[in-house]
Structure 1
Amino acid sequence: MFCENVVHWTSKIQSYSRKGSFQRALSLFLKMRNAGIEPNEFTFSTTLTVCTQSLNKSVGLSLHSLILKKGYLNQLFLSGGLISMYSSFCRISDARQLFDEMPERDEVVCNLMIAKYAQIGFSKEACRLFYGMVNGFIHFRGFVSDFSVVSVLNACAHLGCSRFGKSVHSYAIKLGFDSDAFVGSSLVGMYSKYKELGSARAVFDQLGTMDVVVWNTMITGYAQNGYEEEAIELFFEMEKQGLCPNYTTFSAVIDASCVMPDETLGRKLHAKALKFGFLLDVYLGTAVVDMYSKFLIMTDAERAFSEMGKKNVISYNALITGYGIAGDHENALRSYKILQSLEEMKPDACTFIGLITSSVASAVYVVGEQVHSVLIKLGWDRDVLVRNSIVNFYSKFGLAKSAIKAFETAQGSNIVSWTAIMTGLVQNNEHTKALEVFCTMHNLSEKADEFSSSSVIKAAASLAAVSQGRLLHGHVFKVGLNNHIFVGSALIDMYSKCGIVEDAKKVFYEMPEKNDVTWNSMITGYARNGFSDEALNLFHEMILCGVMPTSVTFVGVLLACYHAGMVQEGKHYYQLMKSYYRISPSAEHYSCMVNLLGHSGYIGEAEVFLLNSPYKEELALWKSLLTSCEAHRVFDVASRVAKYCLNLKPDDSSAYTILSNIYASKQCWSEVEKTRDSMKMADAVKEPGCSWIEA
């Protein structure tokens, strides 16, 4: 009768536990105790599971005392239940103490302890325990299973411990676990975390039968490490193999589709996910919203967002960021206010970064200023990523002092923060300050990366500070960044601006990898220093190498033609840019053509060209033509061009000065007097010249 009662009560407790009625299950256990019925080991095991799942610490601790009192602690499955319970209570030291005090252990308990360490982020402890387990230091050698291998591989991935992870891989091969899909998936995930996609793919290809989890791990590894095309190819290969993708698969490939030239693939994947009925998943729905946002198709992003059955703060952030990139600050603020009104969600760092982005993209300073005030009030300005976006915001609006203040008042800077402030200073022509910031960063032992190095090299280039540039070149060579594309391109630009073309050329040809920016830097460097033939030859070499020229490329080409006075060649390249490469001419291209025509004596043609351009309101272009008129003493055109200049900027002293010089060269002294009187009436003051040396 006693046994029947225990079984009956235990069965009812299990029934409530399976239904998720944890409070009723615990109440039933207490009633059982009050009824004088003694629980057995199975009752304790079931009740421990209830305490673990409901995080009921008080009852759980009482159970441990009772199990100890009744002498059931030698039951391994109860010890395992207690370890799980203490781990769920985040009392991992108590779990380990219990584990160490066990007189004997089996495979399940050992693997459980490693798994719990890995799950709650104690990755080093998980690796140490596994190491002791393998080498027999803790008297349970031989208990290694596929489960323990998977747990320690996940710990290695979290730690970034490549050497130990590879050792575990070797041990798994020795035990024959490497062909297991469970272990294989963890190996693929670990190598993906190490960014060793070749090793991850080798493991993937060697696996025999694979489930969708393994495919998802490999696809996600590709997508998260910048191999988006490979991720998409593997997705289609997965479909060919007859495997049905799940919401995780679609989330990864929809994210990967954002690098495509347009949204066509993303739309197809969206339709497939809709067909499979996966769009109710919040993460997949968020990925769809993010995809449309990145392509600036905000109407579809809004529709995808509204169709989501469940939303979280990440979903709102994706929409707000999309509005931010599109420069729609009004809708970004509207979405933020909705999010703010929800009790179950709170804005986070990404929310405010999206809002600041919207103010930058839409050039609305007051919005960013208000967001910054809210950030300070809520304490989010201490977040490194948020602070970096604030620095970028003030830099974009030309407020270098505010950017520096935002950078200096916040605590804890990373390399991204230093790069953000240096880039902002360079953008605002505070080149000397950028060099000072770099020196401060270096003195604080913050290791420079390719982005911070290229930013400070640009500062040295703008100052034409060749000695500082050489020191920076030596520094990037020492730390091994000299072969990076961004750094190499910045060095080429720096040496070119300092007039040391041979050094620029040496850097260019020593670079193992080049992109269009690298080619453009060298072409422009040649052109700027009067090496027109070399610039044009390099342009043709660039085409032969299969590198597509950009708008910047043709600025360099036209500049080379201008310096060499090659009018017909300049016209040819200008037409080639427009008709063949479909590049719309910018103000810089028009400036090059006006300079080319004007300085070659085609003053009338340059005037007509400028009048027919969309940039005829650009003062710099007219001043350039006016300088050409002065050089060639074309009086009638100069008079008209000077009027254009003065209409655009009545107090521009240079236009008055050039016009006065032209009249003086013609000995029209009365006109010279009138021009000087007009200059005085306009209150136009001639800017004093200056010269400086590098000390």
Structure 2
Amino acid sequence: MLRDTNALAHVIQTYAKTKRLRRGKQLHALLICAGYTPCTFLTNHLVNMYSKCGELDHALKLFDTMPQRNLVSWTAMISGLSQNSKFSEAIRTFCGMRICGEVPTQFAFSSAIRACASLGSIEMGKQMHCLALKFGIGSELFVGSNLEDMYSKCGAMFDACKVFEEMPCKDEVSWTAMIDGYSKIGEFEEALLAFKNMIDEEVTIDQHVLCSTLNACGALKACKFGRSVHSSVVKLGFESEIFVGNALTDMYSKAGDMESASNVFGIDSECRNVVSYTCLIDGYVETEQIEKGLSVFVELRRQGIEPNEFTFSSLIKACANQAALEQGTQLHAQVMKINFDEDPFVSSILVDMYGKCGLLEHAIQVFDEIGDPTEIAWNSLVSVFGQHGLGKDAIKIFERMVDRGVKPNAITFISLLTGCSHAGLVEEGLDYFYSMDKTYGVVPREEHYSCVIDLLGRAGRLKEAKEFINRMPFEPNAFGWCSYLGACRIHGDKEMGKLAAEKLVKLEPKNSGALVLLSNIYANKRQWEDVRSVRMRMRDGNVKKLPGYSWVDAGCKTHVFGAEDWSHPRKSAIYEKLDSLLDQIKAAGYVPHTDSVPLDMDDSMKEKLLHRHSERIAVAFALISLPIGKPIIVKKNIRVCVDCHSAIKFISKVTGRKIIVRDNSRFHHFTDGSCSCGDYW
């Protein structure tokens, strides 16, 4: 048999296919011991066998010692290097083949082009494309599919489409490359259109195509299209494939259909992995069902599956958005236990979580413990200072970030401009806005323009804000008009307030805030007929005012309060404390701001309404429920009113407690009768 070259080649080929490296080595050793010098034909098979089994050193040693190489030798080595992620070496070997005068086969081209795609080297890929066209194989199935994939991975979809169109024969690999390419650059509609065309062409559908298409459906929240793809999954029998199941769970989760996501997740418990659980958790987080997300996390741990950085990031993000400090700190402990606190994304989310929960010092501490902060971590810290109204600190962090060579992006400037706006740093904010494109190469977007409107409006510079709006390259978005409307209310500009309200209502017809703010402007001017007219408009348009509520965590439970709330089990103790506080703060100099109540009634009734606002009830409850050493953190779904802001300042003074209030705009830190915002918010 040792002299039968064809038989030996067949055996080596079998070992390569089945990856039986040990048997392949034994046969090779036997040949050497027998004094048999393999010919080029047999050596090519050995090089291929070692490459396919991942023993690249052996393959290279054999290749380098070959007395004669042919086209198959070069192709086997290039393919082996590319398959084993030695992409630069694969391209160098391809170049060596050309120097030796060999004309590459479509398989050599395919491997070299795959290497270019993996390196993201579009220039080298284009050279390969030109060479393939020169040899007349640019449209061959393998070469064309890999060229198309290379262009799409490098973001050159125009070139990818051109290659695809010129291919006379297209298979599922070609179509998958198109769909995947469109998805990767965010052209999700085009990805779905390509899938439709693939169906029309009756091309065989595999699980890779289905996963790419479901990814596009999820990004577009195209649940209807996703359901039709789901039916194809069931029809083709791919529902039990773990990757397809994960893609379905992810698609339904991103579309907000958590019932369907949960149903897919529960089909086969054997076909679940950390990705399956993370997709479901992320869906619950995005639909603000944090408790369900946490229960899925508990189930994941019970099954002995280790969470990954994406699992933790999703849950910690939920805790940040809900200001759920207790759950957030527990997750932080688990993150540290399995050493994910060094992951740049997880650590950045932790900075954000502590910041949004009001614990500024903890956020800074987590950031300081990051060895080499990424752009995301710096952005998180700038954002935290911005949320807390500490504009000067946000600027310092921004300058440190730039000095470290970290390039700011669009998100950085939103946080920076927000910080400047809440701190009254108008000139600094304007300077940063106008330097965005010129100095940092970041083109301002709608959000940045809206931040400038907010910056000028809060400072009472309404005329400048209006001039800025007129110079904008586009109409302000809802946030921009809302900011301007709020400024008009604070500074009493009825006419401009009316204009802003109309613009905002046009953008968001069901936004009650616009009409409520307009009503407040009229009420401050004591134009009660106009107030009634606005309220009638709300009633006729079925626009309901968003009710204000506040919540506070105590005893491992979240306690939620509304205005005039009598539902809490400890209502008697709460209202007794509330009345006691009113007497104390009045004695300390508190005077109710009854003008902030936009109703035609006497001052005593207005005072009574103010006294029972939700944030004040929450503070009273916290004072009787939390130990002295624990900070009082109250969260509110709408902006804290002027009177409550004043009252809580006095409460912090008479009780000697630090009180943190997070409303829908920013944080207020009340200590000893003053607020971190300096009464500017």
When normalised by structure 2's length, the TM-score is 0.74
Q: 2:217 corresponds to which letter in structure 1?
A: S
Cα separation, partners in 2 of 1:186 and 1:497, compared to 1, 3 Å:
farther
- The reply on whether 1:148 has 2:108 as its aligned counterpart is yes
| Preserved contact between residue 321 and residue 357 of structure 1 (Cα < 8 Å) | no
Cα separation, partners in 2 of 1:680 and 1:483, compared to 1, 3 Å:
closer
Q: CA deviation at 1:416?
A: 1.6
Q: CA deviation at 1:456?
A: 1.3
Between the aligned partners of 1:657 and 1:99, the Cα distance in structure 2 is 78
Q: Deviations over 1:250-289 (max 9, x none)?
A: 2222222224466333223222321232212211111111
How well do the aligned residues superpose, as a CA RMSD in angstroms? Answer: 4.6
Q: Deviations over 1:33-76 (max 9, x none)?
A: xxxxx464445445545655666666555544544565666533
Between the aligned partners of 2:415 and 2:338, the Cα distance in structure 1 is 32
Between the aligned partners of 1:450 and 1:585, the Cα distance in structure 2 is 33
Cα separation, partners in 2 of 1:122 and 1:369, compared to 1, 3 Å:
same
Q: CA deviation at 1:369?
A: 1.8
Return the match for 1:252 from 199, 212, 215.
212
Q: Deviations over 1:635-669 (max 9, x none)?
A: x711221233234559999979999xxxxxxxxxx
SS of the residue corresponding to residue 457 of structure 1 reads helix
- The reply on whether 1:274 has 2:234 as its aligned counterpart is yes
Between the aligned partners of 2:203 and 2:546, the Cα distance in structure 1 is 51
Return the match for 2:410 from 435, 446, 450.
450
Cα separation, partners in 2 of 1:402 and 1:156, compared to 1, 3 Å:
same
Q: CA deviation at 1:553?
A: 8.7
Q: Deviations over 1:333-357 (max 9, x none)?
A: 44444444556x5332223234434
Q: 1:494 corresponds to which letter in structure 2?
A: L
| Preserved contact between residue 325 and residue 361 of structure 1 (Cα < 8 Å) | no
The answer for the alignment partner of 1:213 in structure 2 is 173
Higher strand share: 2
Cα separation, partners in 2 of 1:562 and 1:79, compared to 1, 3 Å:
farther
Q: Once structures 1 and 2 are overlaid, which stretch shifts more, 334-343 or 232-241?
A: 334-343
The answer for the alignment partner of 1:80 in structure 2 is 44
Cα separation, partners in 2 of 1:83 and 1:407, compared to 1, 3 Å:
farther
Higher helix share: 1
The aligned runs of 1:530-679 (5 Å cut-off) are 551=511, 554=514, 558=518, 584-586=544-546, 626-627=594-595, 637-648=602-613, 649=616
- The reply on whether 1:346 has 2:346 as its aligned counterpart is no
| Preserved contact between residue 188 and residue 203 of structure 1 (Cα < 8 Å) | yes
The aligned runs of 1:465-480 (5 Å cut-off) are 465-477=425-437, 478-480=439-441
- The reply on whether 1:482 has 2:450 as its aligned counterpart is no
Q: Which runs of 5+ in 2 are unaligned?
A: 549-561, 566-577, 579-590, 621-640, 658-669
What is the number of residues matched between the two proteins?
601
SS of the residue corresponding to residue 514 of structure 2 reads helix
Q: Once structures 1 and 2 are overlaid, which stretch shifts more, 227-236 or 492-501?
A: 492-501
Return the match for 2:69 from 105, 125, 129.
105
The answer for the alignment partner of 1:665 in structure 2 is none
Cα separation, partners in 2 of 1:47 and 1:316, compared to 1, 3 Å:
farther
SS of the residue corresponding to residue 341 of structure 2 reads helix
SS of the residue corresponding to residue 165 of structure 1 reads helix
Return the match for 1:318 from 279, 288, 293.
279
- The reply on whether 1:386 has 2:346 as its aligned counterpart is yes
Q: CA deviation at 1:451?
A: 1.0
SS of the residue corresponding to residue 407 of structure 2 reads coil
| Preserved contact between residue 184 and residue 203 of structure 1 (Cα < 8 Å) | yes
The answer for the alignment partner of 1:429 in structure 2 is 389
| Preserved contact between residue 392 and residue 420 of structure 1 (Cα < 8 Å) | yes
Return the match for 1:419 from 355, 379, 382.
379
SS of the residue corresponding to residue 271 of structure 2 reads coil
Between the aligned partners of 1:287 and 1:489, the Cα distance in structure 2 is 36
SS of the residue corresponding to residue 304 of structure 1 reads helix
Cα separation, partners in 2 of 1:515 and 1:151, compared to 1, 3 Å:
farther
The answer for the alignment partner of 1:172 in structure 2 is 132
Between the aligned partners of 1:163 and 1:437, the Cα distance in structure 2 is 38
The answer for the alignment partner of 1:520 in structure 2 is 481
Q: 1:480 corresponds to which letter in structure 2?
A: G
| Preserved contact between residue 139 and residue 167 of structure 2 (Cα < 8 Å) | yes
SS of the residue corresponding to residue 381 of structure 1 reads coil
Q: Once structures 1 and 2 are overlaid, which stretch shifts more, 98-107 or 273-282?
A: 98-107
| Preserved contact between residue 593 and residue 643 of structure 2 (Cα < 8 Å) | no
The aligned runs of 1:24-423 (5 Å cut-off) are 38=2, 40-42=4-6, 44-49=8-13, 52=16, 60-61=24-25, 63-68=27-32, 75-88=39-52, 90-134=54-98, 136=99, 139-142=100-103, 144-260=104-220, 263-308=223-268, 310-329=271-290, 331-342=292-303, 345-360=305-320, 364-423=324-383
| Preserved contact between residue 417 and residue 452 of structure 2 (Cα < 8 Å) | yes
SS of the residue corresponding to residue 586 of structure 1 reads coil
| Preserved contact between residue 321 and residue 332 of structure 1 (Cα < 8 Å) | yes
Cα separation, partners in 2 of 1:190 and 1:628, compared to 1, 3 Å:
same
| Preserved contact between residue 44 and residue 67 of structure 1 (Cα < 8 Å) | no
Q: CA deviation at 1:690?
A: 10
- The reply on whether 1:440 has 2:400 as its aligned counterpart is yes
More contact order relative to length (CA 8 Å, sep ≥ 6): 2
Q: 2:114 corresponds to which letter in structure 1?
A: N
Between the aligned partners of 2:654 and 2:505, the Cα distance in structure 1 is 53
Q: Once structures 1 and 2 are overlaid, which stretch shifts more, 414-423 or 307-316?
A: 307-316
Cα separation, partners in 2 of 1:637 and 1:518, compared to 1, 3 Å:
closer
| Preserved contact between residue 387 and residue 418 of structure 2 (Cα < 8 Å) | no
| Preserved contact between residue 324 and residue 359 of structure 1 (Cα < 8 Å) | no
| Preserved contact between residue 151 and residue 157 of structure 2 (Cα < 8 Å) | yes
The answer for the alignment partner of 1:605 in structure 2 is none
Q: 1:276 corresponds to which letter in structure 2?
A: L
| Preserved contact between residue 157 and residue 189 of structure 1 (Cα < 8 Å) | yes
Q: 1:640 corresponds to which letter in structure 2?
A: M
Cα separation, partners in 2 of 1:181 and 1:304, compared to 1, 3 Å:
same
Between the aligned partners of 1:201 and 1:553, the Cα distance in structure 2 is 47
SS of the residue corresponding to residue 382 of structure 1 reads coil
| Preserved contact between residue 522 and residue 528 of structure 2 (Cα < 8 Å) | yes
SS of the residue corresponding to residue 404 of structure 1 reads helix
Q: CA deviation at 1:446?
A: 0.7
SS of the residue corresponding to residue 481 of structure 1 reads coil
Cα separation, partners in 2 of 1:624 and 1:567, compared to 1, 3 Å:
farther
Cα separation, partners in 2 of 1:436 and 1:81, compared to 1, 3 Å:
farther
Q: 1:393 corresponds to which letter in structure 2?
A: M
Q: 1:356 corresponds to which letter in structure 2?
A: I
Cα separation, partners in 2 of 1:243 and 1:405, compared to 1, 3 Å:
same
Between the aligned partners of 1:353 and 1:177, the Cα distance in structure 2 is 47
| Preserved contact between residue 327 and residue 360 of structure 1 (Cα < 8 Å) | no
Q: 1:108 corresponds to which letter in structure 2?
A: V
Q: CA deviation at 1:495?
A: 4.4
Between the aligned partners of 2:243 and 2:413, the Cα distance in structure 1 is 37
Cα separation, partners in 2 of 1:353 and 1:243, compared to 1, 3 Å:
same
Q: CA deviation at 1:521?
A: 7.0
Q: Percent identity?
A: 24
| Preserved contact between residue 105 and residue 140 of structure 1 (Cα < 8 Å) | no
Q: 2:227 corresponds to which letter in structure 1?
A: R
Q: Which has the larger radius of gyration?
A: 1
When normalised by structure 1's length, the TM-score is 0.73
| Preserved contact between residue 504 and residue 522 of structure 1 (Cα < 8 Å) | no
Return the match for 1:494 from 445, 455, 459.
455
